[in-house]
Structure 1
């Protein structure tokens, strides 16, 4: 049984070692630096969104003010779509480094616009960003190993191990108390800065507790690994240095080998269309429409939009004026031609993520990163969900413009007051709400 005197004694013992104090300070500084870096990045993304929203509004109003028909109005106006960072995105940036989180789209064929990515170098992103999730999953296990690998071996080498066991009222309480004191201080050095930054970013209590639970779980898992190796009978005669080598080998297995091999296996298992192929397919369909008979455009369009079948009269040889409804019809057909590839791409992305989730069960560090990304809403599901919201918004633009193209009402700028506006969603731990920016 652990007594208060045991806790006081072991606290004085651990604080009596400069190495322990230095390690705690390093953990505190690394955690704070990673959180500050993530916070600054998310603040920059929010500022970018606010700046682009204002410019987008001004440019759209200026473009609409100079148009004389609905077709040119649709062609020259852009619409900003974006995925705002969640309150906890600063802690686990996740897939926001891999997937685009903003687009400026028009009424033209959409798939080519979606897959024109403006993200950072994907190879560099794969190596991992220095954020709180990286510190917790990759660096924190190293500090646990550093502080606990020689828990008993050091006492054996100093010839104090048997004496401690004989003189202590409960020998198990000595080691248990020392471990608990060490872990509590490690957890505090890691989580106190996180809680402060989470409060600054207005994160919900539920999400903060969930993230703290993941961090605590990661600490417990690595502590168990270290203590099991230190207590194993086959390692009883090993020196502290040899034990540290074994533990570092397991750390490397978790941090490097499992993720790299898993990534290779997933890519080899799941066949994925290239985003460039989707863009090329869509653009070839659009560009070739200029040289095809008009019927070759109308047929696939009417097949998916039968409500406009009676409004497709247009003969380019007879009608000298440019026909906007025909133009937007073959833009839509371009998307239809790329639809299967786009669907397969998204399905493959989800399959890869699902397989990666199973592989993460073999690596505590990888699992920790995935769980933190899930809580922060920066995972694959969140970014694929953003892509689908862009598609839904583009569909709402088509619903707005098609009656104006096909029924050719008199042009009136007042109609643009009903122009759809993109509204992103921000997921929290308890609900999903819409941010009307």
Structure 2
């Protein structure tokens, strides 16, 4: 017990240790607060779009006459929502930069998605300030400050030589004990942040809560092992601090930066924009082309309307919506190419993230929170499926020149959001920890003989 009190007093005696612990705790609390605020705002936006559509439906249903189908389908904007779990407040991922609520019409899909959502790619690469950022980047710095000078301080005070004179392993055991104490304290801070987040955000205390804490503590342990390896080199404080800082810069900053730079050059991020522009051009050019031929082309996709293509006059809504669908089909190859590029990019990130623990941790956390790029594309697929449902609800009325009544309009499709989270096993992190643990054991056995 006296050794424990001594180590505890020693740890809190340094101003750098106290300041780093305070900064980490305040940063984590700020991340929780900002995350909860942004999450509440996103949820409010989603609720507002749903309430607005409900009011519009009430007004139209209560009108003396329902507008014609084409006009109704043109103006009706059905709300869709990316179903974000409360964990998105802490690990925001793609939800910081992407639309989480979008009103969808029975018009061309590509222009609706990418015409509204042009994000700054540089901001996306930099990442945002959330609890994932605090854990991935600030936690290692805290670990380095409270650990890497342990042995050098013992040597400078003369205690190291005296301890080794008592027994070959006494000094090494005391260093390990000091590391374990510091790990316990930092782990307690991490757990405290999650408990505060559970209260502020309203997180359920279930198995997923335990899994998030577990992965965060595994990551914390990894940096303690790295610090232990640097300590085992038996160098002075300046060398240890520079060595730890260099490792942190390499693993947490340089490697992820190089990965994003390489992917930015290898993959075409402009494909969605090109698809949206081309879709708009195809639609605009359609006004100068044979409208009946456009309807014939449309009937190749929907042969059930082949006998209902005729219309009188210079314009009819059935041509307009048929042309909207054809303009979407004209850029379908670009959409598929974008999906394939995204999948290739994600597979590449899975492999490269093994070189960067910080990148690996963020990929785990964002996947479990349902805010990674895979989750966002799953939401887009839900939008595509619902868009098809929306169009195919309107087409029978449109091509049969049949008017909707109030009951028909009340049966207008509603978007049903589905969860998008994934739960990958942290096997890579566990294997990395095992390898570092074996290496650290070997190094400390050698250190005991010094």
TM-score by length of 2: 0.87
Residue in 1 that maps onto 2:176: 176
How far apart, in 1, do the equivalents of 2:256 and 2:139 lie? Answer: 17
Alpha-carbon shift at residue 15 of structure 1 (Å): 3.4
Q: Among 291, 294, 298, which residue is 1:294 paired with?
A: 291
Q: CA deviation at 1:313?
A: 1.9
Distance in 2 separating the partners of 1:118 and 1:330: 23
Q: Which residue of 2 aligns with 1:103?
A: 102
Q: Distance in 1 between matches of 2:30 and 2:209?
A: 19
1:60-209 alignment runs, 5 A limit: 60-62=57-59, 65=63, 67-118=66-117, 121-167=120-166, 170-199=170-199, 200-203=201-204, 205-209=206-210
Please tell me whether residue 325 in structure 1 is matched to residue 326 in structure 2: no
Shift of 1:118: 4.1
Cα RMSD (Å): 2.2
Distance 2:268 2:124 in 1: 21
Corresponding residue for residue 277 of structure 2: 280
Determine if the alignment matches structure 1 residue 270 to structure 2 residue 263: no
Q: For the Cα contact (< 8 Å) 2:82–2:100, is it kept in 1?
A: yes
CA contact (8 A) 2:296 2:309 kept: no
Report the Cα offset of residue 350 of structure 1.
Answer: 2.4
The 2-side partners of 1:321 and 1:36 are apart by 58
SS in 2 for 1:340: helix
CA distance in 1, matches of 2:403, 2:250: 69
Give yes or no for contact 1:273–1:341 (8 Å, CA) kept in 2: no
For 2:191, what is the secondary structure of its paired residue? helix
- Deviation (angstroms), 1:94: 0.6
Alignment of 1:222-237 (within 5 A): 222-232=223-233, 236=234
Structure 1 distance, partners of 2:270, 2:292, is 30
Give the corresponding residue for 2:354.
361
Q: Which runs of 5+ in 1 are unaligned?
A: 431-437
Which secondary structure state, in structure 2, belongs to the residue aligned with residue 361 of structure 1?
A: helix
**Structure 2 residue 44 is the aligned partner of structure 1 residue 43:** no
> Of residues 356, 379, 382 in structure 1, which corresponds to 2:372?
379
1:245 Cα deviation after fit: 0.8
Distance 2:375 2:421 in 1: 12
Residues 111-120 or 298-307, more deviating: 111-120
The answer to whether the aligner puts 1:27 opposite 2:28 as a matched pair is no
With over 3 angstroms needed to count, the CA separation of the structure-2 counterparts of 1:60 and 1:339, relative to structure 1, is farther
Long gaps (5+) in structure 2:
424-450
Equivalent-residue separation in structure 2 for 1:190 and 1:410 (angstroms): 61
- 1:304 positional shift: 1.4
Give 3-state SS (helix, strand or coil) of 1:129's partner. coil
Superposed CA offset, 1:83-123 (max 9, x none): 13212111111111233222112111111001124476332
Distance 1:121 1:265, change over 3 A: closer
Q: In 1, Cα distance between the equivalents of 2:325 and 2:217?
A: 51
The Cα of 1:352 is off from its aligned counterpart by 1.4
> May I ask how many residue pairs the two structures share in their alignment?
419
Instruction: After superposing the two structures, state which structure 1 stretch, 328-337 or 340-349, moved more.
Output: 340-349
State the shift of 1:321 in Å.
6.3
Q: Aligned to 1:291, what secondary structure does the other structure show?
A: coil
User: Which position in structure 1 is the counterpart of 2:56?
Assistant: 59
* Structure 1 CA distance for aligned equivalents of residues 286 and 71 of structure 2: 19
Partner SS, residue 396 of structure 2: helix
C-alpha separation in 2, matches of 1:88 and 1:411: 42
* Deviation at residue 42 of structure 1 after TM alignment: 0.5
| More deviation, 91-100/364-373 | 91-100
Deviations 1:186-224 (A, max 9, x none): 111122121231354233522211111221111111111
Return the alpha-carbon distance in structure 1 between the equivalents of residues 82 and 281 of structure 2: 29
The 3-state SS of whatever aligns with 1:424 is coil
Q: Return closer, same or farther for 1:409/1:299 CA change in 2, 3 Å cut-off.
A: closer
Aligned CA distance change for structure 1 residues 207 and 11 (closer, same or farther; 3 Å): same
**Secondary structure of 1:81's partner?**
strand
